[in-house]
Amino acid sequence: MQDDFASFFAGLDKMQLKEVKVASFASSDKEYPHFCGSTDIIVKRAKELGAAIITESLKLEGDGTYAGEEIESNLSDILKAL
């Protein structure tokens, strides 16, 4: 887990996520053994805390420059769920 992510993750327990709609996204390098693994960790913990996951996690290669359609589709799913 990245250092800058650890403090956010530790704070999830303090958030009142019961029935809160949650979506998760990340960008990473596909060569990394746990490609965008933070999204899986966030979703798992959010579910444990009672959150409603509204779409599958969006996992992007690099900075997402070439993922316009994938990003648009994910955002569309999120907006429909709100």
- Domains annotated on the chain, with CATH: 3-81 (3.40.50.360)
Q: H or E segment at 39?
A: helix 37-48
Exposed (0-12), middle (13-18) or buried (19+): which is 6, by Cβ within 10 Å?
exposed
pLDDT at 2: 72
Query: Which pLDDT score is estimated for 6?
Result: 82
Q: How far apart are the first and last CA of the chain?
A: 30
11: Cβ contacts below 8 Å, ≥ 6 apart:
none
Q: Strands, E, within 1-82: which ranges?
A: 21-22, 25-28, 52-53, 58-61
The model's pLDDT over 67-81, given as tens digits with 9 standing for 90+, comes to 889 999 999 999 999
1-10, 37-46, 57-66, range with the lowest pLDDT: 1-10
